Structure 1
Amino acid sequence: MPALASHRKPRSRTAKPSHAVGFTTAALAGVTLLSTQSATAAPAEPKPSIEEVQKKVDDLYRQAGSATQEYNKAKEATAEKRQEVDQLLDQAAKRTEKLNESRRALGNYAAAQYRTGSVTPTAALMFADSPQAYFDQTQLMDRMTDQQRTAVAEYETERAAAAKQRAEATKRLESLTDSQEALRTSKQTVQTKLAEARTLLSKLTAEEKARLAAIERKREEEARRKAEAKAEAEAEARARAEAERQREERETAPDTGTTDPGTGTGTGTDDGTYAAKADKVLAFARDQIGKPYVWGATGPSSYDCSGLTAAAWKAAGVDLPRTTWDQVKVGTRVATADLLPGDLVFFYDDISHVGIYIGDGKMIHAPKPGANVREESIFYMPIYGSVRPA
């Protein structure tokens, strides 16, 4: 029997499709696809810390401040160039009238020559590019009267001057166009930077905003402590100066017979005139406290930082340039330790901010968008340098 069994035809086994197996295969394929996509997809960027947000926002405001100075510079240049173009156009109009008068004079001579039958040379003169060149070539100048020669000379002079003015006006118009483009670009840059700062702040949760406020308070407290230390140093310096003044008065009293305590300056420096101007500057600046910062503004209802400093010193009869970059170049440079009320203090390496020193380590300034003109420690921002404008 076993031999017979070996000749049996093997039973054919055909596997039926299994829904369970099909589902599992599809699931595995899906997992593989998702795994591949996950492996190739860029990892999500980590959320910035509150400290990073604060640093970024501060930097954006600083960049906006720098762009504001670019805007102020472009705006000033645009106004100057527009005035130059208007003047040139006015001069060109007057020159054109003079040219027309010269042309009418030549026309009168042409009419006179027509009546005498010699129209051809004059007609050629009227249509020539250069009357002077025409007469030189034809030697007609020898046959003209002095009055006719004068008319031709005047026409030639006016024509050349008009051509020169047209060329200059064209050049100035091109320069004006460039300034207007720079104005638009800097304006867009300011708006972009401020929008980025607002977007960053708007994404913070209530808890994150509270933490950011705490960081800001810590920063303000540190700046306040530094201002207090400077105020103490200034008070000590004033006390030493007063003691020295009194000592000198006692020593000189027997020789001069004067004991008037009001003869000294109180500071040991010849700053009486400057102090008088500074008083006017500070009085004006204090009157602006509470008014909003608006970039590009010069008052009277709002200011940017350099707009406020320029307006304050204008009240003391001193004209300052419009931008921080130019204001830092006026007057005399002074060290932070030697600051007097009225001095201008500049901030950041790009000199994008400025305030008016009021003494005791404090200043009045227009801080940034969303804030009002206020008193604040000069140590709130990194100091670039200081100047005494007058």
Structure 2
Amino acid sequence: MNRRRRAAAAIALVCALTMPVLHATAAHADPHAPKKSLEEVRQEIDDLYRRAGAATDAYNLAVEEAKKQSAEIVGLAKSIVAGQEKIDKLKAQAGAQAREQYRSGGLPVGAQMMLSGDPQQFLDGADRLRAGQQATSNLLGELNQTQDDLAAYTKDAGTNWTKLEANRIKQAKSKKQITEQIAAAKKLESSLEKEELARLLKLEEAQEYKAQTTWLSTGILNEINSEASAQGKKAVQFAAAQMGKPYVWGAEGPKSYDCSGLTSQAWLAAGHPIPRTSQEQWAQLPHVAIKDMRPGDLIIYFSDATHVGMYVGDGAIVHAPRPGRNVTMTGAGSMPILGVVRPDK
């Protein structure tokens, strides 16, 4: 009887969680359209937040590139100023030489030597002539090279300004996408009754539990037994210490984080800077097999690499899930795993 009662209770829970959500659709939907189940609403909200996460990654990358380009522009501007000062100095030297020739009567040094009538003076003058010609040649060469460098610096600065403007537009577009997706998700959540929101949270937890259980049932945890590196331990300690802080898109702490903001700051605290976004972390950091991962490694999720969490051992990760949630610990297999990267390999 106990087994039957448990089975009946489980069936009742599933029915309660997936029953049609009348309130969520009554205000805006076509009254003749089929009502959405709570599971369908959960999937729709999850999809909206996933798209917001993808836009957040694009925004963060644009911000990082803009920072790099701004720094390069500053460096180029300094080089342009220094180059112009050098040109002014070289021109002043050339002017001094011209004035010296004018003071000597305007005659070329070679002509003055021929008119001197003194053999020793002629020989001394020949040495000075060669030295002067070499100095003039060097001066003109340096002047031409500096002018070429100045032109290149100016061109590079213009290119970086163009890229900076493109990134500004990209940031604005991504920000618009983020805010629209989050607003749509919150609107959908706000249309639910309090009881429905509670069931929605239970559904999310059940989905994560099912995925984690499926992942663990493969026996993968028996193969994962590597110990964290010294830097990995520091990164894990940092990430774990942020638990309870809210997810905010684009945030890198210390009061809030997005998913890659948390992992990048954790490894920065460990003394090993890594790329800012989950997609760049996936693209640039060394990959390791899941069975070989160790605490401190980063697990990249979804086919587009738009989420990341830090493996902390015992089949768990610490991550910043999404807007409306806090940094937390959850099962490493609770989301579709794309792969694992190791910052300090």
Q: TM-score under structure 2 normalisation?
A: 0.73
| 1:342 equivalent in structure 2 | 296
Match of 2:244 among 290, 293, 296: 290
The equivalent residue for 1:210 is 195
Match for residue 355 of structure 1?
Answer: 309
**2:110 paired with 1:155:** no
Q: Displacement of 1:348 after TM fit? A: 1.7
Unaligned 5+ runs, structure 2: 1-29, 108-128
Tell me the SS of whatever aligns to 2:162. helix
Distance of 1:116 and 1:101 partners within structure 2 = 23
Match among 65, 70, 76 for residue 58 of structure 2:
70
**Distance in 1, Cα, partners of 2:221 & 2:272:** 31
1:320-355 deviation digits (Å, cap 9, x = unpaired)? 2111112224233323x6654333222222111111
Contact 2:215 2:333 in 1 (8 A): no
Three-state SS of the structure 2 residue aligned to 1:70 is helix
Q: CA deviation at 1:233?
A: 7.6
- Deviation per residue, 1:226-268 (Å, 9 max, x gap): 5467668879838xx9xxxxxxxxxxxxxxxxxxxxxxxxx5x
- Contact 2:56/2:249 (8 A) holds in 1: yes
Residue deviations 1:146-178 (CA, integer Å, cap 9, x gap): 444443333333222222222222222222222
Q: CA deviation at 1:309?
A: 1.3
Q: How far did residue 223 of structure 1 move? A: 2.6
Shift of 1:380: 3.4
The Cα shift of 1:373 comes to 0.5
Between 1 and 2, higher relative CO (CA 8 Å, sep ≥ 6) is seen in 2
Q: Distance in 2 between matches of 1:116 and 1:175?
A: 54
Contact 1:304 1:366 in 2 (8 A): yes
The correspondence of residues 234-273 of structure 1 with structure 2, limited to 5 A, is 237=222, 267=225, 271-272=226-227
Distance in 2, Cα, partners of 1:345 & 1:147: 63
Choose the corresponding residue for 1:180, options 148, 151, 168. Answer: 168
- Counterparts of 1:87-106 in structure 2, within 5 Å, are 87-106=75-94
After TM superposition, the score normalised by the length of structure 1 is 0.65
Amino acid at match of 1:355: G
Aligned to 1:376: 330
Cα drift, residue 55 of structure 1? 1.8
- Alignment partner, residue 224 of structure 1: 209
Q: Report the residue type matching 2:340 in the other structure.
A: S
Determine the C-alpha separation between the residues in 2 that align with 1:313 and 1:54. 33
1:169 counterpart residue number: 157
Greater radius of gyration (CA): 1
Question: What residue number does 2:181 align with?
Answer: 193
Aligned residue in 2 for 1:317: 271
1:58 Cα deviation (Å)? Answer: 0.9
The CA deviation at 1:77 is 0.8
1:87-134, Cα deviation, whole Å (9 max, x unpaired): 111011101001001122233344445557769xxxxxxxxxxxxxxx
Shift of 1:287: 0.7
Classify the secondary structure of the residue corresponding to 2:338. strand
Q: CA 1:84–1:168 in structure 2 vs 1: closer, same or farther (change >3 Å)?
A: same
Which letter maps to 1:220? E
Alignment check: 8 A CA contact 1:231 1:359 kept = no
| Rounded Cα–Cα distance in structure 2 between residues aligned with 1:322 and 1:76 | 7
1:230/1:361 contact within 8 Å kept = no
Number of the residue aligned with 2:321 = 367
Distance 1:353 1:45, change over 3 A: farther
8 Å contact from structure 1 (residues 51, 212) kept in 2: no
**Are 2:211 and 2:335, in contact at CA under 8 Å, matched by a contact in 1?**
no
Classify the secondary structure of the residue corresponding to 2:203. helix
| Count of aligned pairs between the two proteins | 291
Aligned equivalents of 2:133, 2:55: Cα separation in 1: 65
Residue 380 of structure 1: SS of its match in structure 2?
A: coil
Distance 1:383 1:235, change over 3 A: closer
Aligned-residue offset at 1:294:
1.3
Q: CA shift at 1:60, angstroms?
A: 1.1
Contact 2:221 2:315 in 1 (8 A): no
Q: Structure 1: how far apart are the matches of 2:133 and 2:199? A: 93
Q: Which residue of 1 aligns with 2:33?
A: 46
The secondary structure found in structure 1 opposite 2:151 is helix
2:298 and 2:187 mapped to 1: Cα distance?
Answer: 33
Paired amino acid for 1:292: P
Say yes or no: does 1:57 pair with 2:45.
Answer: yes
Give the distance between the partners of 1:54 and 1:108, measured in 2 at CA.
Answer: 81
CA-atom RMSD, angstroms? 3.2
Structure 1, unpaired ranges of 5+: 1-42, 120-140, 242-266
